[in-house]
Amino acid sequence: MRNAKLQFPVAILSVILLNLLTNAPTLADSTSPRLAAYYDLKMLVCGQTAFQWKGDDRPLPVADDVIQVGVGRDASYVLTTSGHLLTWSESPEEKTEILDRVAWFVAGRSGVFAARKDNTFDYIARTERLFGASEITPPIKIGASVIAASIGDSADYFIKDNNTLFVKGRAHRGQYGDGKLKSSTSFIPVANNVVAIKAHTGHAILLTQDGSVLGTGGNIYGPLGRHGIGDKAILWGEVFTNAVAIATGSSHSLALRPDRSLWQWGRDIGLEPEKIMDGVAAAAADQSSSLALLNDNSLWQWQRGEQPKKHFQCPLN
């Protein structure tokens, strides 16, 4: 396991730059609470209105008074300005409240992590049988003082306020990054000096306080760059540097740098990170495409290996 050395001035600078880029810490499913993408389902916040779409469809408004969005494979989530976490599967007209007093959350195929306003941290499971669209279980308290988290397809992660990364779930692809392939039924520490974590299909990438992006887990198609390419990496290894925010899809990854340039690598792109856009405020990745929200509130979308295309413009308030 590679532990980056604490560099306090750089850490503080990274947080400041991250807030400038995304208007929030890296505690969302993407680089910002305003964007969410997972498999083929996507969401965006314009002002306080949530929009949703699949594939190349046009985004349509689905909820108001929203400050954060999230998606599972077939489930959508919004966090309201009053701290209520709502979800639906088929129709946004059939929203169900699953938790209140929520400060932020992350969603995925198997459930939701929610940080409460009293500093506690809960997990709400949804069985895999219906790919995250099943009945919701009662919340389970995981701990407190969590600053970021991610729900992966096979392992779940969270970061405590001392910047220690914890993981629980399957480890068959090296998802823990501790050199072992042994799963744990309870959360165990696996990395230090971490400020962000993103996980997807058997792999994960993290962001350290000095701006390094490390990866571990399955890497058949290159979401970890050259680290473990063709099979898997079982130790955290450096993939990118000088980043302030990260996102990953099923087989490719994204990173934002302090100059607001967006970089990508992975399947249909290449193993070496390449710059794809400038002026990016937030980014997200799903099964086969990438999203970028620019500083002018225009949303760009493109398939892996293709060039970005303008997909939507946030309406003027």
- Residue 99 sits in a domain whose CATH number is 2.130.10.30
Does residue 2 fall inside a structural domain? no
CA R_g for the chain: 18
Does residue 178 fall inside a structural domain? yes
Does residue 1 fall inside a structural domain? no
CA 181 to chain centre: 23
* Distance of alpha carbon 211 from alpha carbon 63, whole angstroms: 35
> Which one-letter DSSP state was computed for residue 136?
B
* Distance of alpha carbon 74 from alpha carbon 301, whole angstroms: 20
* Distance of alpha carbon 192 from alpha carbon 199, whole angstroms: 17
Q: Mean pLDDT in the chain?
A: 89
Q: Looking at the 3D structure of the chain, how many domains does it have?
A: 1
- Predicted pLDDT at 16: 34
Does residue 3 fall inside a structural domain? no
Does residue 317 fall inside a structural domain? no
pLDDT by residue (tens digit) across 206-227? 999 999 999 999 999 999 999 9
pLDDT by residue (tens digit) across 99-139? 999 999 999 988 899 999 999 999 998 765 444 445 678 89
Could you list the residue range(s) of the whole structural domain that residue 37 is in? Answer: 8-312
Does residue 140 fall inside a structural domain? yes
Does residue 55 fall inside a structural domain? yes
- Exposure b/e, 45-64, CB count within 10 A at least 16 = b: bbeebbbbbeeeeebeebbe
* Distance of alpha carbon 173 from alpha carbon 177, whole angstroms: 9
Contact 44, 34 (CB under 8 A): yes
Does residue 262 fall inside a structural domain? yes
Other beta carbons within 10 Å of 23: 12
